[in-house]
Structures are given as structure tokens and as C-alpha cells.
Homo-oligomer: A and B are copies of this chain.
Amino acid sequence: MKRRQLLTGSITTVAATTLSVPAVAQSSPAVKWRMASSFPKSSDVIWGSSVAVADAVSAMTDGQFTIQVFAAGELVPPLQVADAVTNSTVQMGHTGAYFYIGKDTAFAVGGQLPWMSNARQFQAWLHAGGGNDLFNTFIKNYNLLNLPAGNTGAQMAGWYRKEIKSIDDLRGLKMRIGGLGGALLKRMGVVPQQIALGDIYPALEKGVIDALELVGPLDDEKMGFVKIAPYYYYPGFWEGSSELSYFVNLDQWNSLPKQYQAALRHATRSVGLEQLTKYDAGNTAALRRLVSAGAQLRALPEDILEESYKQSKLMFAEMSAANPNFKTLYDHMSKFMADSNVYLEISELYFDLMKNTARRKGWDKI
């Protein structure tokens, strides 16, 4: 039954209008959801994305489908967002899939893996390579559906009190780093620490940690780390393409009208695209301000990159042996990445390289 035909086609008979009411209620009911975020309001871009998704959904449904967003800790602790969604405490959450590797290491694959992919590749795997569908067959076990929430692009390797000249300087280094990045660096002598966002600066000040990683210049700047740990390293090889997640309770998703499902799905992709553009548009200015404030920008020494790459493969092999869920996702993803890389290397990467070569060789001086 087309409600619009009923409502606009004829208003000559009161009966027809009255009959149309149940149809309206069915297809465009007022739906109010709550979204728990793992992120504080101070994480401007990421928090802003969740609010933008809620705004978009409301705008596209004429205010009929509203989502109220709660910052980290307002309803549930930041690392328990998935549980709150599974349990229907909230209908959806904005979080990082890799926060839940304690439940099952396969969660990591929903966010990226160390050394595995850049943002283009990861989003290609998710959206066109069957990756997100496969991930969703896994998190169905938790009554969850994943809607990818947008990428940060390649992150920095973080802030360090002292210069890192070789892999020896990692031994015993107390570093705030979580997830598989932490597990990987632990294999190289780092002592990883889990510290909540608000506690990082004091921990650095008191010498509880020697180093930390967060995201990149745009997010890092406001934390003021440069004053205590001025060595700012790249590349963040454990987060070459960090994709966050909207986890939706599967029953709630299935009970949504198709119209609202479409609005939510497209809103998350549209805002996700915008999120990456915000990072790409803002990171350089933030980096310049950080360097003016004393940041010492450095590339990690090659022995660290080499060992971390080798250790990542060993770690994935061990994780695959220990967990068939991880193995299924890892095998699928790593095959896709090796494959997609072939064309990206001669097209995208070569173009970027030559574009920078041109600048370096002064071809732009006309």
C-alpha cells in the first residue's frame, strides 16, 4: 500500500484518509535510538562524526528517526560499548572493533591489522571485497552488525621522551599503546600500558610512561604531549588505516523499517568519507604548529620497521593457529590486500612518488 497515494491522491473521502493511518505508522514510525560512544567529546573529528550521522539520519527521515549520542562514560564505560549494544542497553555504539580483542582476537580485523593496508585498501576490502560481510558473519555471534564508520588514514607512531635510534631503544620502553599494536611492540621489548585518555598526560609527567601513541597531529595537538615527549615518530605501522565502527544491535537493526536502514547505512558511509577528508585537510596545519612548539619529527629507524614487519607475520600465524575465527578473516583480508596492492602500487603510489619527486627536483620552478 502506497501511503502517499492514499494521502495525496484523494482527500475527498474521510474514510480513505482514516484508513491510511496504520500504513503511515508502519512505514515511517517515530523511532528513537541511543548511541553510546567510546570517544569523548574532545575527540573533535571522531565525536563529530557520530553526531553528524545522527543529524543526517534525522534530516533524511524528516525527524522521524532520531539517535541521541552519548559520549564515553555517560552511559557505559568506553571499552564496554559493544556489550551495551549486544545487551540492548543502547541500540547502537560508536567504537573501535579492536577494543574487543579480549573477547575474541577476530574483532581486530574489523578495524585493520598492523602493516596490512592503507585506507583505500581497507575500505575496498570492507565495501567491495566482501570484508565487512565476512566480519558481520563473525560478530553475529554477539548479536551485532558492523557499519564501518570512516578512517583516520595512516597514523603517527606517537610521542617519545627520548630519540629512538635503533631497536635497542625499544627494550623496556613503557609505552601507552593498546590492541594488536601493543601486542606487536611487546614482542620487540616494549612494555605496553593501557591508560585512559585523560590519564595519559599525568602518566607521562610522572614518568609512569616513556612514550605513547594516539592518532595524528590533529588529535594529538590538544593533548600537549610535545612539552614532555617531543620526539614525534612516523609511520604508525600498526595503524596504517584505522577504521572505526558503528556496532548495531542485530534485533534492533532487523526491526528498523527498510527506509531507516538505508538512511543509517548511507549516513555512516557519507559521514565516514567526510571524516577522512577532515583529517587530510587538517593534519598539516596541526603538524606545523606542533613543530613550531618543539616537536622533533623523525622516521622510525629501518631495523624497527623490518623487525616489526617480521614479527607481525609471526604474530598473525600464531593468532591464526589459536583462533579459527581470526584465521578465516585474516586469510581473506591478507589475500585481498596482496592482490589490491598490485595495481595500487603502479597507479596510486607511483603517481604520488613522481608528484613528490617533481617537487624535490624543482620541476615546479618555472
Q: Give residues in A with beta carbon < 8 Å to B.
A: 2-4, 7-8, 11, 14, 17-18, 21, 24-25, 27-30, 56, 59-64, 115, 118-121, 123-129, 153-156, 216-217, 234-237, 240, 257-259, 262-263, 265-267, 269-274, 276-278, 280-285, 287-288, 297, 299, 305-306, 309-310, 313-314, 317, 336, 339-356, 358-359, 361, 363-364, 366
A-B contact pairs, 27 of them (CB 8 A): A2-B63, A4-B29, A7-B24, A8-B29, A8-B30, A60-B61, A62-B257, A120-B153, A123-B273, A123-B280, A128-B277, A153-B344, A154-B348, A154-B350, A154-B351, A216-B347, A237-B354, A263-B263, A272-B273, A280-B340, A284-B339, A284-B343, A288-B342, A297-B346, A306-B358, A317-B366, A352-B352
Contact B21 A8 (CB under 8 A): yes
Contact A216 B343 (CB under 8 A): yes
Q: Output the least CB separation between A218 and chain B (Å).
A: 9
Copies in the complex: 2
Q: Output the least CB separation between A243 and chain B (Å).
A: 12
Contact A363 B310 (CB under 8 A): yes
Contact residues of A: prevailing secondary structure: helix
Q: Output the least CB separation between A194 and chain B (Å).
A: 24
Which residue of B17, B272, B342 is within 8 Å of A287 (Cβ)?
B342
Contact B277 A364 (CB under 8 A): no
CA distance A355 to B312 in the complex (A): 12
Which B residue sits closest to A315, measured CB to CB? B366
Contact A128 B274 (CB under 8 A): yes
